[in-house]
Amino acid sequence: MSRRPGFPARLEPFAGAPKPRGNLPAAAPAAAPGGIGLDSQAVRLRMVQKLAGQGIADVQVLAAMSLVQRHRFVDSALVNQAYEDTSLPIGLGQTISKPNVVARMIELLLGGRREASGKLGRVLEIGTGCGYQAAVLSRVAGEVYSIERLRSLHEKARENLRTFRLANVHLLFGDGMAGYAKGAPYAGIIAAAGGDAVPAAWLDQLAVGGRIVAPTSMPGGMQALVVIERTMTELKQTVLETVHFVPLKSGIA
Ligand code: SAH
């Protein structure tokens, strides 16, 4: 399992649109593929206004959603849909969740908690996928450990995240069902894939005061968002709304 990517330790919160590559004439506009160019900030702000209208209230989550350039995580053919409230394919049958679900889950993960730094402490994400949610998490958490079981997606995420230079994101290749003991205990564990039950390893690796947010199968076959909180004495579970996530699978591929 690789530990941390060699990102330079510098954060570029308002990186703007990607720089033109290749031999473009000097006057060419700096546009991303598919026409989202320098105004992608405006498109994201509209997305964030919509999220606020849908009930996302945590300003730190809204700020993080406004900063991360979602269009840089999807295939060029899908760039124009990057800021719509829709899930999008990222290859190998996997999907990037719609912005509303990403924001909702991170808001639940934070649960109003903050360390003195103004951020949540260490967070474990299961299912890196294209790396988008890891980038959003990096704005609200001190350290993000994100694990992916499909090598090619792990590598894609590494490539996608390279230019963002997020020193606090650690991409791992492995089976997230076992968590990642070396980074434990976690203030938050967030799953982007749904299993039949929350794996015991995640419960073991959760700090006192920590929270797990995970899509989990319910009796009858539906999937719901489950929040588990560890107090000094118990694990408290809350079952929330129905969701549709790709399955949590064991092993690597
Ligand atoms: N957060 C991602 C969404 C990825 S979709 C993003 O922003 O793009 C869910 C991902 O979970 C898939 O890539 C899938 O391969 C991965 N996954 C499923 N089971 C897993 C497991 N046991 N360990 C690690 N990753 C897993």
pLDDT in tens, 93-133: 999 999 999 999 999 999 998 898 899 999 999 999 999 99
Taking the centre of ligand 1 as the mean of its atom positions, its distance from the CA of residue 59, in whole angstroms, is 26
Contacts of 54 (CB under 8 A, 6+ apart): 100
pLDDT band at 24 (very low <50, low <70, confident <90, very high): very low
Residue 220 has pLDDT above 60, yes or no: yes
Average pLDDT over residues 139-146: 98
pTM: 0.87
Residue 6 has pLDDT above 60, yes or no: no
pLDDT of residue 36: 59
Average pLDDT over residues 211-233: 97
The verdict on the CB of residue 68 being under 6 Å from ligand 1 is no
pLDDT of residue 39: 74
The verdict on the CB of residue 193 being under 6 Å from ligand 1 is yes
pLDDT band at 16 (very low <50, low <70, confident <90, very high): very low
> Which residue, 70, 141, 65, is CA-closest to 104?
65
Q: Within the chain, how many helices (H) and strands (E) appear?
A: 6, 9
Atom 16 in ligand 1: which residue has the minimum CA distance?
127
Average pLDDT over residues 57-84: 96
The verdict on the CB of residue 88 being under 6 Å from ligand 1 is no
Region(s) of the chain under CATH 3.40.50.150: 87-243
Ligand 1 site-directed mutation target among 87, 136, 246, 252, most atoms within 8 Å of CB: 246
Residue 241 has pLDDT above 90, yes or no: yes
Average pLDDT over residues 33-42: 66
Distance, CA of 147 to CA of 124 (rounded, Å): 8
CA-based R_g, the chain, Å: 18
Taking the centre of ligand 1 as the mean of its atom positions, its distance from the CA of residue 146, in whole angstroms, is 9
* 29 SS3 class: coil
> Which residue, 239, 200, 184, is CA-closest to 217?
239
Distance, CA of 205 to CA of 190 (rounded, Å): 12
Q: pLDDT tens, 190-210?
A: 999 999 999 999 999 999 999
- C-beta of residue 77 within 8 angstroms of C-beta of residue 121: no
Q: Give the DSSP letter of residue 251.
A: S
**pLDDT over 90 percentage in the chain:** 81
pLDDT of residue 37: 57
pLDDT of residue 95: 95
- Position with higher pLDDT, 33 vs 116: 116
- C-beta of residue 1 within 8 angstroms of C-beta of residue 172: yes
Provide the residue type at 143 as one letter: E
The verdict on the CB of residue 177 being under 6 Å from ligand 1 is yes
User: Hey, which residues does 235 pair with through a beta bridge?
Assistant: 230
DSSP assignments along 46-94, one per residue: HHHHHHHHTT---HHHHHHHHHS-GGGGS-GGGGGGTTSSS-EEEETTE
Q: Say how many Å lie between the first and final Cα of the chain, rounded.
A: 13
- Ligand 1 atom closest to Cα of 153? 13
The verdict on the CB of residue 169 being under 6 Å from ligand 1 is no
- C-beta of residue 137 within 8 angstroms of C-beta of residue 105: no
- Average pLDDT over the chain, rounded to whole? 88
Torsion angle of C-alpha atoms 166, 202, 229, 236, degrees rounded to 10: 160
Q: Match domain 87-243 to its CATH number in 1.10.287.1080, 3.40.50.11740, 3.40.50.1000, 3.40.50.150.
A: 3.40.50.150
